[in-house]
Amino acid sequence: MDAIAKGVRRTKSHLAGRLEFASRVALGMHRGRSLDVVVSADLEDAQWPDLVRPDRFAAANIVLELIDGFCEPDLPLPDVYALLTGALSAISRSEAPMELLPRFQLRLLEALGLAPPLETCVRCGKSIASSGAWLDPEQGGFACDACRVAWREVLVLSAEDMRNVRALAAPASGKVKAAVHAQKTSAAAIEILVNHHLGRRTKAASQAPELLGGLQ
Distance, in Å, from the CA atom of 3 to the CA atom of 35, rounded to the nearest integer, reads 5
Listed as ranges, residues in the chain with pLDDT below 50 are 174, 177-178, 214-216
Distance, in Å, from the CA atom of 55 to the CA atom of 51, rounded to the nearest integer, reads 8
CATH 1.20.1440.120 for domain 49-216, yes or no, is: yes
Its pTM stands at: 0.87
Give pLDDT tens digits for 168-215: 998 865 455 446 789 999 999 999 999 999 999 999 888 876 555 544
As to burial, measured by CB atoms within 10 angstroms (0-12 exposed, 13-18 middle, 19+ buried), residue 202 is: buried
Distance, in Å, from the CA atom of 212 to the CA atom of 216, rounded to the nearest integer, reads 6
Distance, in Å, from the CA atom of 155 to the CA atom of 142, rounded to the nearest integer, reads 10
Residues spanned by CATH 1.20.1440.120 within the chain? 49-216
